[in-house]
Structure 1
Amino acid sequence: MNDIPLNERYTLTINESSQYFHIGVKRLRRLAEMNVGVFSIKCGNRFLIVRPKFEEYLLQNCLIQISFHLQQVVAIPETVRKYTVNHKEVKERMRRPNPEEKQLLSLREASAVFNLSYQKLYQLVLKGDTSFVAYYRTRRLVIRDEFVKFLNSDGNMEKLANAKNRTKKRLEA
């Protein structure tokens, strides 16, 4: 049986079909488990791949992708292809939002977005009489809309503003 070349055999083991089709052993095993009766046969505890049926399956259901840097052909089955995504889209979805876009801000983000003193904002939050603070476990989060209302009322913006830079005055003197 070992004298017969792989391209003339009707059934191949997982390892033989991996060598013949240049597809990984794990991927072939998964494909064989999912497609018993279509192109694979379970014989005892091992899977056999029916070579002609698997070739048809690859031609009908797969997108052949050539990776030039590896110089190999990789077959992506239909079941896997629907989960294939564009990496640029994933990066865009997974990127951290800018603090200007967020509705809940940390104290550091709030002080940076509104150009306020972090220490003054922290002291104000510690007093506890603020309606713009939300607590998540031990974190203090600033609710943007409520904080904007708070800043616009009673001149609170000036109270929390950063101190003016005094280094120019010292350099001029």
Structure 2
Amino acid sequence: MNPTSLVRAAALALILHSGVAAASPLMDLRAGDLLAMAPELRKALALNANQQLLWQQSEARTRAILRERQGRRERLQAQATALAQDPGAELRTLGTAADAEAQASVAEDKALREQWLLLNDALDDRQRTQVLRFLADQLERVRDGGPARGEEGGKREGGREGGPGGPGGGRGRPGGG
């Protein structure tokens, strides 16, 4: 790799990863990770028919948004790769595209939170307590540096489901019920 390409690659890395260092543990929870754990939580919640419908809608919308986001990011990656090959390329073009992706992701994250909060509003007190216990477990796993359930070998977006002690289990927490 020649020095010019190396400088471009370093600049590209800074542009695409800006803001990552400031991420807090809550922000380390990813929709794909939580979605991978959703079946066990859904089972533990023992949803009624209306709640089941809301859950299905929330899950379907989440999957659609994540697919769309993955496609955009793949296109951005292809644009970055092509840009890195062009000796006369302007990095600002890529910076603008990265900013647009970041803004789209923020809007999607907000929409996803609202969708799942609608479902949460339909839960009874016992179910809400279970959800909070599940969230507390995930935050503790992130804080402790261990992989969240749904990760395997540090890989995100898939992997195994479950963990020690079942829903809410592990790290000294009782299993769900």
Taking structure 2 as the reference length, the TM-score comes to: 0.23
- Bigger RCO (CA 8 Å, 6+ sep): 2
- More helix per residue: 2
Structure showing greater radius of gyration is 1
Taking structure 1 as the reference length, the TM-score comes to: 0.24
- More strand per residue: 1
